[in-house]
Structure 1
């Protein structure tokens, strides 16, 4: 498995988001010629970590502010600053969303002295978090995935039929494009299966009625059971924000236990 830090083509994301399951009309996409919009929600106490929030397909920073996600994060982690980002559809279309996220958000956060940098993404943002991990494996302290988009039904059925361990993605392509990006994301996720310690810092939550719920079991199967939460509800922040609070409340003790186990 190559860890070459390749981008994802605009054509690929165009293909992704014309899918009826995830398309919503007249949604903000961001201006990829401008820096990624960011809004810092500072913790009330000195912050030791930061949670970077990646928006869903229809979100901008104003929508993220209204979603309650910052309050949910800081309710679970009072020592966390929250950075809301406007990493919208336009940045993915440009083909360098993971690299832009790294250069403009993650690296500057580290220079500010946080001991932990987490990515939290919903829907498109969950996919973006996984794309970041593919480009920069293990770079983020942890990932919180809220109903992430991980591929079309045909591919999910193919993986479910064989099991991820037995699934054959084929020869690695020279470049990622509209015809292979989903398989390449799952090729990366196979590396998680071969290294179970990698999944201790990944959490997944979604609603039972979410339109993407059928695609979640293969991903959930890679994670420790305590890292997965399924609740009533659909594809919306009113489900995801409470889920994020629950998952981060779980992640805090898990991180502490992991540190205690380390030599």
Structure 2
């Protein structure tokens, strides 16, 4: 089933940069608007457009989320002339963005992960016990396959051999997933880790989204190129 999408124009003129925003589990696309994410995007003064992609839980369960993103969103965007594509995601959407970037690294210019789901706590604990994601080695057997996959993907972005594609991590300090985020955070450049008061909910996510759009190297209305 093709991914339903909603496109939101940027604040100024034609854009060659696209931000693809993936919602969290059980989150409707309209909720992203009612909670202020689209208003914040337009107020950020970016020379970029936004696409909300309705990648709901069913696409993850049947493991089609990466293929559907590529066929229904990314490939058409390239055909329309977008030269730079950033992926943003909330919770489960953060995982989806990470999975896509791992399979199609050449298609992604940056990642904005808000409270991403990174698997079960025991996997993050094992990563921490081995000295962080740069030193961690995936186990031969696991009860948390998606967590092992997520941390394996993350290894691309840490350590001396890290790819140049920037990955931003943003989370509420009281988030129930914060313990896993705190395992990842020290392995990233400090300027790419953002925190806010609050838990796994909109009061933390709204200011984090605003700060991500302000700090990420995205093209601005006053600039001609990113």
TM-score (norm 1): 0.76
Q: Offset of 1:196 from its aligned partner?
A: 4.9
Shift of 1:55: 0.5
Distance 1:78 1:233, change over 3 A: same
- Residues 144-163 of structure 1: pairs in structure 2 closer than 5 A: 144-163=112-131
- Distance 1:64-1:151 versus aligned 2 partners, 3 A rule: same
Per the alignment, residue 43 of structure 1 pairs with: 10
How far apart are 1:244 and its partner, in Å? 1.5
Give me the whole-angstrom Cα distance separating, in 2, the residues matched to 1:69 and 1:39. 13
Out of 181, 192, 196, the position equivalent to 1:231 is 196
Determine the structure 2 residue equivalent to 1:73: 41
Q: Which residue of 1 aligns with 2:187?
A: 222
Name the CA shift for 1:103/1:200 in 2 (closer, same or farther; >3 Å): closer
Q: Is the 8 A contact 2:41 2:213 kept in 1?
A: yes
| 1:96–1:148 CA distance, 2 compared to 1 (3 A) | same
Taking structure 1 as reference, are residues 111 and 77 closer, same or farther at Cα in structure 2, changes over 3 Å only? farther
Cα distance in 2 between the residues matched to 1:137 and 1:44: 27
Equivalent residue number for residue 140 of structure 1: 108
Matches of 1:178 and 1:95 in 2, distance apart? 17
How many angstroms apart in 1 are the aligned matches of 2:164 and 2:117? 18
Instruction: Report the equivalent of 1:168.
Output: 137
1:198 lines up with 2:163 in the alignment: yes
Task: Give ranges in structure 1 of 5+ residues lacking alignment.
Answer: 1-32
Asked if structure 1 preserves the Cα contact closer than 8 Å seen for 2:134 and 2:158, the reply is yes
CA contact (8 A) 2:99 2:153 kept: no
Structure 1 counterpart SS, 2:7: strand
1:83 matched residue in structure 2? 51
Superposition TM-score, scaled by structure 2 size: 0.87
* Deviation of the 1:103 alpha carbon: 1.1
Change (3 A) 1:77 1:118: farther
**CA–CA distance in 2 between the matches of 1:213 and 1:239?**
12
User: Partners in 1 of 2:144 and 2:10 — Cα distance?
Assistant: 43
Deviation at 1:129, TM superposition (A): 0.8
Residues 187, 78 of structure 1: alpha-carbon distance in 2 compared, 3 angstrom cutoff: closer
What is the aligned residue count?
220
User: Distance in 1 between the 2:180 and 2:109 partners?
Assistant: 25
Q: 1:108 aligns with which of 63, 76, 82?
A: 76
Q: In the alignment, what sits opposite 2:93?
A: 125
Q: Distance in 1 between matches of 2:78 and 2:23?
A: 21
Structure 2: gaps spanning 5 or more residues: none
Secondary structure (helix, strand or coil) at the match of 1:198 reads coil
| Distance in 2 between residues matched to 1:114 and 1:48, nearest whole Å | 4
